Amino acid sequence: MEMNDAVRRLTGLAQDTRLRIFRLLVRAGPGGAAAGRIASQLGVPPATLSFHLRELADCELIRVERRGRSLIYSADYGSMQELMDYLRHDCCGGISKSGRAGRARQELT
């Protein structure tokens, strides 16, 4: 994963409403949740919600699929895993807690 994509996904999560949307969708599981359900659950006006759903979809943290007249959103779990892996290995790995050279480098768990 490239740093640029990491920044984009971090930006996706770095906003109150969007983090709440993502949390909700993770909890909703693979079946996802319709936009309207998210809106009522979080108390966010439709247009505002739509804006944030698009942000999350653009950085691929969530997916969308139409079912009837509803649009069902779901968390893209693999994409989140990629981000976590990036942060663990490519961004934040390699720190030494002790500072002693030649020691095993600490990884985020």
Partner DNA sequence: TCCATATTTCTAATATTATCGAAATAATAT
Partner DNA sequence: ATATTATTTCGATAATATTAGAAATATGGA
Helix-helix angle 16-28:46-58, to 10 degrees: 80
Stretch that binds DNA, among 20-28, 39-47, 79-87, 90-98 (CB under 7 A): 39-47
Q: Does 84 bind a second copy (CB under 8 A)?
A: yes
# chain residues binding a second copy, by CB under 8 A: 38
# chain residues binding DNA, by CB under 7 A: 29
Stretch that binds DNA, among 8-16, 19-27, 91-99, 100-108 (CB under 7 A): 8-16
Q: Does 20 bind DNA (CB under 7 A)?
A: no
The partner in contact with residue 21, picked from a second copy, DNA, none with C-beta cut-offs of 5 to 8 angstroms by kind, is none
The 3-state secondary structure of the chain, one letter per residue:
CCHHHHHHHHHHHCCHHHHHHHHHHHHHCCCCEEHHHHHHHHCCCHHHHHHHHHHHHHCCCEEEEEECCEEEEEECHHHHHHHHHHHHHHHCCCECCCCCCCCCCECCC
By the criterion CB under 7 A, which residues form the site for DNA?
11, 14-18, 34-37, 39, 44-55, 64, 66, 68-71
